[in-house]
Chain A
Amino acid sequence: ETGVTQSPTHLIKTRGQQVTLRCSSQSGHNTVSWYQQALGQGPQFIFQYYREEENGRGNFPPRFSGLQFPNYSSELNVNALELDDSALYLCASSFGTLAANTGELFFGEGSRLTVL
């Protein structure tokens, strides 16, 4: 148990729809990173939020967006869903951006998105 919770655990959408995934970080952690993991692949960094601001982004298009709230929980929004967006979306929390970049990350169990 890492103390990081994600919701929903599973969901099915159709192409063109929009989805919002949620993450509650571990108590005391102020940094949240989001990853996409396709089947059989390693996690791919989407972006990181620190103090409610985006603080680093991977190679994902603008239709992937996020938010971080004052309580450090976070949302990942994906617009205009495509079939290739089907994946496990993982949220990871840590304390401080330096730790998020070079130290241990605490992961939630993920949200599995299927796009039909």
Chain B
Amino acid sequence: SQQGEEDPQALSIQEGENATMNCSYKTSINNLQWYRQNSGRGLVHLILIRSNEREKHSGRLRVTLDTSKKSSSLLITASRAADTASYFCATGPINAGNNRKLIWGLGTSLAVNP
């Protein structure tokens, strides 16, 4: 089952613009992570934000977390054509039970046009 829902499903911007993607989730979490996936390939970890953090930066990436709204956003500043990929949020639920799994959203497909 999917917990995260990314919004928008697809985003097309010009190089140099900022890209913002949102993720909503349903249950209480320990942390939320963002991953990137180039077409049909493996996922690459971008950033992890813990439930007691509100904002985190890594290079051109900025992630915010609002646990009261159960939502997160990923901002990519000064986008490049190489940022073209799908972006997924994944949550680590508090009460993961025996499954102990990260729960993934459906992803946002980002296209950065040169």
Which positions in A face B, CB cutoff 8 Å? 2, 4, 33, 40-45, 48, 55-59, 88, 90, 92, 97, 100-110, 112
The main secondary structure of chain A at its interface with chain B is mixed
Are B45 and A58 in contact, with the CB atoms below 8 A?
no
The interface residues of chain B, by DSSP majority, are classed as: loop
* Chain B contacts to A: CB under 8 angstroms: 1-2, 4, 30-31, 33, 35, 40-45, 48, 88, 92, 96, 98-107
In the complex the two chains form, is A106's CB within 8 Å of B99's CB?
Answer: no
B1: chain A residues within 8 A (beta carbon): 59
Chain A residues whose C-beta falls within 8 Å of the C-beta of B98 in the assembled complex: 56-57
| Residues A90 and B42 in contact, CB atoms below 8 Å apart | yes
Whether A108 contacts B104 by the Cβ 8 Å rule is no
Residue pair A97, B41 in contact (C-beta under 8 Å) = no
With contact pairs A42-B107, A59-B1, A104-B48 given, residues A90 and B43 touching in the complex (Cβ less than 8 Å): yes
